[in-house]
């Protein structure tokens, strides 16, 4: 199995490798960056044969292999994902500020697994899961001349949400970038490029 480029993606990569071509799995990122905290939200969806493979994995690997996904099996999947992600982030943080993760701490990891997963493993109904990681910064980060680097899944969608007083000077590792304004908020949208790293620099 190829090296995983982002911790939470270990199960997603596994599913991609075992799924038939008719299956579809999508992944998106939403990063909310404040002066002293950050939240990174992940959303994944499975349809068609990928949904079947996902249900089968939970039932056969974490459950009783009965052909039905039960609530306790979904809860075991929840614990497995959160524990794995925390361990991987302790080993290698997925965000750096000016080239360092020294002043960044992971405070909480949450998972919300879709209860559409329940039932017959052969169902092809869409499954939509969401995860979030909450970080705290030891020092204020939205200062001038600050570079942020993130490690995510290449070619996935990403939205970065910032206070509208922050002026972005440049970006790297992102494609199809658009910048829009909301109420007291700036949104940077794009796709992570061919590598797993993307960054932006604020003045």
> What does the DSSP assignment read for 47-60?
ETHHHHHHHHHIII
Contact (CB, 8 A) for 108 and 15: no
Contact (CB, 8 A) for 56 and 66: no
| pLDDT surpassing 50 at residue 20 | no
Q: Which residue has the higher pLDDT, 142 or 20?
A: 142
Instruction: Give the pLDDT band (50/70/90) at residue 23.
Output: low
The pLDDT, as a whole number, for residue 11 is 52
Contact (CB, 8 A) for 60 and 122: no
| pLDDT surpassing 60 at residue 16 | no
State the Cα–Cα distance between residues 141 and 98, nearest whole angstrom.
10
State the Cα–Cα distance between residues 16 and 94, nearest whole angstrom.
22
State the Cα–Cα distance between residues 74 and 113, nearest whole angstrom.
7
Instruction: Give the pLDDT band (50/70/90) at residue 123.
Output: very high
The pLDDT, as a whole number, for residue 7 is 41
State the Cα–Cα distance between residues 162 and 78, nearest whole angstrom.
29
The pLDDT, as a whole number, for residue 56 is 93
Pairing of strands 157-163, 24-33: parallel
Q: What's the mean pLDDT in 35-42?
A: 94
Q: What's the mean pLDDT in 13-34?
A: 68
The pLDDT, as a whole number, for residue 14 is 46
The pLDDT, as a whole number, for residue 5 is 37
The pLDDT, as a whole number, for residue 24 is 76
């Amino acid at each position: 199995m190829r090296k995983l480029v982002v911790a939470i993606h270990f199960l997603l990569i596994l599913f991609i490798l075992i799924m038939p071509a008719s299956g579809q799995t999508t992944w998106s990122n939403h990063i909310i960056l404040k002066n002293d905290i950050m939240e990174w939200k992940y959303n994944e969806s499975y349809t068609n044969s990928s949904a079947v493979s996902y249900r089968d994995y939970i039932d056969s690997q974490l459950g009783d292999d009965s052909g039905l996904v039960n609530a306790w099996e979904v809860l075991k999947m929840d614990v497995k994902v959160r524990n794995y992600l925390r361990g991987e982030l302790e080993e290698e943080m997925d965000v750096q500020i000016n080239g360092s993760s020294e002043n960044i701490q992971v405070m909480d990891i949450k998972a919300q697994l879709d209860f559409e997963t329940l039932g017959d493993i052969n169902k092809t109904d869409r499954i939509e899961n969401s995860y979030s990681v909450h970080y705290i910064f030891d020092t204020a980060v939205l200062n001038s001349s600050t570079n942020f680097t993130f490690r995510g899944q290449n070619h996935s969608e990403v939205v970065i949400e910032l206070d509208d007083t922050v002026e972005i000077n440049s970006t790297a590792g992102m494609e199809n970038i658009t910048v829009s304004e909301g109420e007291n908020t700036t949104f940077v949208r794009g796709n992570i490029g061919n590598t797993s790293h993307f960054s932006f620099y604020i003045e």
